[in-house]
Amino acid sequence: MKKIRLALLSGGISSEREVSLNSGRQVFEALDKDRYDIALYDPKTDLKKLVMDADSLDAALIILHGPFGEDGTIQGLLDLLNLPYQGAGVLGSAVAMNKRVSKKLFEAAGIPMPAYLSFSMNEAIDPSRVVKSLGLPLVVKPACAGSSVGMTIVREERDLEAAIALGFTHDDAILMETYIKGIELTCGVLGNESPEALPVIEIIPGEGYEFFDYTAKYTAGATREICPARIDDAVTKKVQDLAVRAHEALYLKGYSRTDMILSDHQLYVLETNTIPGMTATSLYPQSAQVAGLSFTKLLDRLIDLALAEHEKTKLRRAL
Ligand SMILES: Nc1ncnc2c1ncn2[C@@H]1O[C@H](COP(=O)(O)OP(=O)(O)O)[C@@H](O)[C@H]1O
Ligand SMILES: [Mg+2]
């Protein structure tokens, strides 16, 4: 069989560059070398080369996180270059990257979320009204970021101002949400036309971590992950159902991973990731493994889904 000429994109220019480079290395290791000829591109330095090489490539694997990687921009470039890539397209990537827009679509789809308020940089924010509306603790986060970057849990009103200022250093819109104390769960989905949910993962940040923050996410051993989660079948079904609904509400394709919190028998969706972490021990690959799909096979599947999706949309090209 002829090898698939694959562009592996990792690095980039977002605050999650290091995470991406690390994932990229592990993805490279795991990819089946009998199936793929792999060329590496770091969008920070190699975009022109990618454009020049496009005609000699068959597909791209985007292992980038955050703005300029997960937000539709790279996806748009690849569309123009007529290169298939895994996961969400321009629209889904753009809406899912923006937590403010995602929430509007989740609301329209009846997906349960923590109570929230959103603000743009030029809007006046009255701290006491915010606290009255959301209660304490509350969470301040930038609309477009990931890996818990720029996020604060505010426990006292006097700390709100600094949290808001920090949020606005990462984006010109922020969200504030009621803090939900409960069991943190995350659930992946996989597939094009009728995406299926993977086993649910339970996340337990280690002692000393206030929440699943950047360090808890990326320090080995800082977080315990249990898959399948220790929840009964009925709740599992609800979590999986919500993950699929969230995926569909945001117009996603191929795969995604939705973060939730279970509190007092209620589920709250936090967000959906269109390019979930992709080291061999990241959440999504872990749950795929529990479902019987090795990291290598998971990558094959994502690339197969990308090629299938591209076959369909190719017909819309007039030339
Ligand atoms: N409303 C909330 N209540 C409780 N914990 C939260 C809330 N929002 C975020 N968190 C914590 O912060 C982490 C990151 O938040 P999330 O919305 O998933 O953003 P991202 O992962 O894109 O940075 C979550 O995994 C959770 O631990
Ligand atoms: Mg998250």
Cα gap 115→304, rounded to integer Å: 39
Mutate to test the pocket of ligand 1, among 93, 152, 211, 269 (most ligand atoms within 8 A of CB): 211
Rg, C-alpha atoms of the chain: 19
The pLDDT score that the predictor gives to residue 319 is 59
pLDDT tens sequence across 67-99: 899 999 999 999 999 999 999 999 999 999 999
The pLDDT score that the predictor gives to residue 209 is 77
Predicted structure pTM score:
0.95
pLDDT for 300 beyond 80:
yes
Coil, strand or helix: which one is 134? helix
Mutate to test the pocket of ligand 1, among 147, 148, 223 (most ligand atoms within 8 A of CB): 148
Cα gap 9→204, rounded to integer Å: 31
Q: Is the separation of the CB atoms in 298 and 61 below 8 Å?
A: no
Helices of type H across the chain: 17-30, 47-53, 73-80, 90-97, 99-108, 127-134, 160-170, 214-218, 233-249, 283-290, 295-314
* Mean pLDDT, the chain, integer: 95
**Which of 122 and 207 is assigned the larger pLDDT?**
122
CATH 3.30.1490.20 for domain 116-178, yes or no, is: yes
User: Which ligand 1 atom sits nearest the alpha carbon of residue 180?
Assistant: 3
Mean pLDDT of 157-168: 96
CATH number, domain 181-296? 3.30.470.20
User: Which ligand 1 atom sits nearest the alpha carbon of residue 178?
Assistant: 1
pLDDT for 252 beyond 70:
yes
Instruction: Spell out which residues line ligand 1, taking CB within 6 angstroms.
Output: 114, 139, 141, 146-148, 151, 177, 179-180, 184, 211-212, 259, 261, 270-271
192 CA to centre of ligand 1 in angstroms: 27
Phi first, then psi: give them for residue 168, nearest 5 degrees.
-75, -10
The pLDDT score that the predictor gives to residue 12 is 95
**Per-domain boundaries in the chain:** 4-93, 116-178, 181-296
pLDDT tens sequence across 189-201: 999 999 999 999 9
24 is catalytic: no
Fold of 4-93: Rossmann fold (3.40.50)
Mean pLDDT of 105-127: 97
Phi first, then psi: give them for residue 50, nearest 5 degrees.
-60, -45
